[in-house]
Amino acid sequence: MQIALIAHDSKKELMVQFCIAYCGILSRHDLCATATTGKLIAEATGLKIQKYMSGAQGGDQQIAARIGCDEIDLLLMFRDPINRGESEPNEINLLRLCDVHNIPVATNIATAEVLIHGLERGDLDWRSIGNPL
């Protein structure tokens, strides 16, 4: 499965900790992320991550384009709904694309844990059947 990882600045450490905790599951999938988030995760976990530009430079739009082409199967986007900075990714377009393309998406750690356990159980295998790459 193709998993995209995005985190607002105040949630990057939480994303790193999440990826450390679920490194075994994530290592069996193809990962991509915006630049800083991907760098932090790769350094902490050793996971191979395709890194796009930073969110401020359009990395979230690069991931959005992959979602629009059905090249992403799961989006984990830890967002800060209270203190989003001007240069941080705008999640509205990403969420809309996920809805249009039936991409499971988590915007917080609680939902991310549900999805990662579902991924481990095979609950998301329907993505591979409907979108073989």
pTM of the model: 0.90
At residue 107's C-alpha, the angle toward residues 105 and 110, to 5°, is 100
Q: Name the DSSP letter for residue 29.
A: S
Q: What is the largest distance, in Å, between two alpha-carbon atoms of the chain?
A: 38
**Per the residue annotation, which of 60, 73, 80, 99 is the catalytic one?**
60
The kind and range of the H/E element at 7 are: strand 2-7
pLDDT tens across 44-72, in order? Answer: 999 999 999 988 888 999 999 999 999 99
Could you give the CA distance from residue 7 to residue 108 in angstroms, rounded to a whole number? 10
- C-alpha distance across the termini of the chain, in Å: 10
Q: Domains of the chain by range and CATH?
A: 2-81+100-128 (3.40.50.1380)
Q: Is 30 a catalytic residue?
A: no
- Kindly compute the dihedral angle of the four CA atoms of residues 82, 19, 54, 100, in this order, to the nearest 10 degrees: -70
pLDDT tens across 10-55, in order? Answer: 999 999 999 999 999 999 999 999 999 999 999 999 999 999 998 8
The kind and range of the H/E element at 33 are: strand 30-33
